[in-house]
Amino acid sequence: MHASVGYAEFHRRSIEDRDAFWGEQAALVDWHKPFDRVCNYDNPPFARWFEGGLINLCHNAVDRHLKDRADQNALIFVSTETDTERTYSFRQLHAEVQRMAAILRAEGVKKGDRVLIYMPMIPEAAFAMLACARIGAIHSVVFGGFASHSLASRIEDATPVTIVSADAGSRNGKVVPYKPLLDEAIALSVHKPTSVLMVDRGLAPFTSVPGRDVDYASARQLHLDARVDCEWVDATHPSYTLYTSGTTGKPKGVQRDTGGYAVALAASMKHIYMGESGETYFSTSDIGWVVGHSYIIYGPLIAGMATIMYEGLPIRPDAGIWWSLVEKYKVSVMFSAPTAVRVLKKYDAALIAKHDLSSLKALFLAGEPLDEPTAKWISEALGKPIIDNYWQTETGWPILSICNGVEKAPTKFGSPGKAVYGYNVKLLDDQTGEELVGGNQKGVVAIEGPLPPGCMQTVWQDDERFVKTYWSSVPGRMVYSTFDWGIRDDEGYYFILGRTDDVINVAGHRLGTREIEESISSHPRIAEVAVVGVADQLKGQVAMAFAVVRDASLLTDEAAKLKLEGEVMRLVDEQLGAVARPSRVQFVSLLPKTRSGKMLRRAIQAVCEGRDPGDLTTMDDPSALQQIKDLLAKTVT
């Protein structure tokens, strides 16, 4: 594309001249055999991208860079948990991935077989993912430390030949043993893997199961000089499955292809993240989540960038640790989550200012809506563009963002930006399915098919669930529903107002909890807030707010708490009206979240209504929910 092409035209072409547009983007990656057809949408909503093409994801992430940048940094591992730093060049990464691929092959893993990866944030996890891609196996990464029951359901669904794991992870200096959880999960699962490859970090003693467990260090020694060629697979061959929780208990395996994913990531690195080969990318996510797949492992490496894999917290040894890494490794693109920024907001911004951040082009944030006060704070602290993204596990890369690599555009605090090229985003009336075209009308954010390359192909082994869950919820239309409310302003910027299932109905008024949260978090003494709808005999539902205060000493001062609660109520009154005012604002020191930083609003709601909060195995700190229980017990008279 020529620099003279504006973004509006770039996006229009991606929708109206789809095949020519994506055919051009496909030139950003290497093909072993060119594709015959760009997009086969003969059987909606199933899209098949780059049919007939042969490709390999590992070749595109590693091998193709050996010619020009073999000795450049590829993978930089930093653990503030074990005080370790290790750097691998593309040449070294290539050797390690081939060793891991040889081990997997020796364990009988073939093209199309599944390998489940249950690992902490260590280099061997990256080697395992890339090795699977190299030999055409399908990896399924499960977040390290997931409880046995959750892990067992994923083992049963993926039916892996082999599981790759480690003795333990570490969080905030506390060792989290993985092996007992894994052994119990295998015992619970109907499906039994033939082998378990164990990386021993020396953090937690464990017992090996004879005949099943394989020691990684010993196996690696046997394959030090391994040469394992890339297995060229069809562009439509699944690269991985990644489980995401559904409204039912059974996890949904989001199935991703190979060719479309490679093209989507390569294009996003150029058009959205503006990453250049030879630079360094730092995503603070975890490989257990989609951001880790797309923007710790595959995206940066495909672009010929070094990628930082970080094990640790943003505040240990101090709240400047991330920024010291930006300085040390000259990070040009950084990707984090609003939750992490809200954690940092409790600390002195001087911890950021003291580092040389001149290499950093922008900080990208995603994972949950970015509220305006948090965006403003980090923008002022960094003095760099803060670019919000909106996307999902299902899409694999952003739906809404600012594509500065195509045309520079301003950001708007509180908005993740405009529809990204390839996504035909619509706002629809959830009752009639009618498209809302005027500015600032609230509707369901939906995407007209076909979904662009890189998005989910289907739910693993359940096409019916794919159609029923994602394509059947808007009356009279086959469109992909994001299950999020949004509005779009006159300039095409979207604002996400929370899940369609996070709507509360107070005395006949439909309120998005997100809007109330935004209002409360604008109070200078509030660091973070969660609002849930709680059943109420009189009004149907009432809003209840749980807020983290910036000054913890307030939690022991009853008079100060009452005063602040009154201030917050008045603020919501002024900004949204009395109908949106929460029935109570309770103050806590932390909120219940998953380890990836997602707020467990449904669990909070269940506790408020005296119900069982359900599966909390992904919860970061159980004391957060206990605080809420204790507060509610006090207030019930």
DSSP string for residues in 527-590: EEEEEEEEEETTTEEEEEEEEEES-GGGGG-HHHHHHHHHHHHHHHHHHH-GGG--SEEEEES-
pLDDT of residue 243: 93
Alpha carbon 432 to chain centroid distance?
A: 31
pLDDT of residue 286: 93
Structural domains for the chain: 7-312+389-483 (3.40.50.12780), 507-635 (3.30.300.30)
148, pLDDT greater than 90 = no
pLDDT of residue 183: 98
pLDDT of residue 245: 66
pLDDT digits (tens, 9 = 90+) for 597-609: 888 888 999 999 9
pLDDT digits (tens, 9 = 90+) for 73-114: 999 999 999 999 999 999 999 999 999 999 999 999 999 999
Q: What beta strand segments (E) does 225-272 contain?
A: 233-234, 240-244, 252-256
Give residue 492's pLDDT band: very low, low, confident or very high (50, 70, 90).
very high
Instruction: Indicate the residue type of 402.
Output: I
Percent of the chain exceeding pLDDT 90 equals 80
DSSP string for residues in 394-405: TTSS-SEE--TT
Q: Which residues contact 328 (CB under 8 A, 6 or more apart)?
A: none
pLDDT digits (tens, 9 = 90+) for 554-573: 999 999 999 999 999 999 98
Give the Cα separation of 399 and 418 in Å (integer).
8
Give residue 578's pLDDT band: very low, low, confident or very high (50, 70, 90).
confident
Which residues share a beta bridge with 451?
Answer: none
DSSP string for residues in 146-174: --HHHHHHHHHHH--SEEEEESEEEETTE
8 A C-beta contact, residue 414 and residue 216: no
Give the Cα separation of 77 and 310 in Å (integer).
6
Give the Cα separation of 628 and 486 in Å (integer).
30
CA 340 to each of CA 183, 313, 514: distance values in angstroms, whole numbers, following the listed order = 32, 9, 18
- Residue holding tokens 């390839």? 422
Give the Cα separation of 352 and 382 in Å (integer).
7
pLDDT of residue 2: 44
pLDDT digits (tens, 9 = 90+) for 242-259: 998 655 557 889 999 999
Long-range contacts: 228-231, Cβ < 8 Å, 24+? 228/98, 228/101, 228/102, 228/105, 228/131, 228/134, 228/135, 230/56, 230/58, 230/59, 230/63, 230/134, 231/56, 231/111, 231/134, 231/135, 231/136
Q: Which pair of tokens denotes residue 398? A: 């952003």
* Nearest by Cα to 626 from 554, 564, 546, 572: 546
CA 546 to each of CA 75, 244, 532, 573: distance values in angstroms, whole numbers, following the listed order = 40, 26, 9, 17
Which H or E run includes 631?
Answer: helix 623-635
Give the Cα separation of 237 and 260 in Å (integer).
10
Task: Name the pTM for this structure.
Answer: 0.87
pLDDT of residue 54: 98
- Residue holding tokens 């694999």? 396
Q: Which residues contact 37 (CB under 8 A, 6 or more apart)?
A: 50, 51, 52
Q: Which residues contact 342 (CB under 8 A, 6 or more apart)?
A: 374, 527, 528
8 A C-beta contact, residue 522 and residue 568: no
pLDDT digits (tens, 9 = 90+) for 418-448: 999 999 999 999 889 999 998 889 999 999 9
8 A C-beta contact, residue 230 and residue 134: yes
Task: Give mean pLDDT, residues 46-68.
Answer: 98
For β-strands 306-311 and 73-79, DSSP reports them as parallel
Torsion of CA 365, 366, 372, 376, to 10 degrees: -10
Q: 635 exposed, middle or buried (CB, 10 Å; 0-12, 13-18, 19+)? A: exposed
Which residues share a beta bridge with 333?
Answer: 281, 362
* Nearest by Cα to 396 from 267, 492, 207, 237: 267
DSSP string for residues in 442-466: -EEEEEESSPPTTS--EETT-HHHH
Q: Which pair of tokens denotes residue 296? A: 């710790």
- Residue holding tokens 């190299």? 134
CA torsion sign for 348, 349, 353, 359 is positive
500, pLDDT greater than 90 = no
Residue ranges in 246-309 assigned as alpha helix (H):
259-271, 290-292, 299-302
Q: What rounded mean pLDDT belongs to the chain?
A: 93
3-state secondary structure of 506: strand
pLDDT of residue 244: 85
Backbone φ and ψ for 385, nearest 5 degrees, come out as -60, 135
637, pLDDT greater than 50 = no
Q: Which residues contact 325 (CB under 8 A, 6 or more apart)?
A: 78, 282, 308, 310, 331
1, pLDDT greater than 50 = no
Give the Cα separation of 606 and 450 in Å (integer).
37
pLDDT digits (tens, 9 = 90+) for 260-307: 999 999 999 999 999 999 999 999 999 999 999 999 999 999 999 999
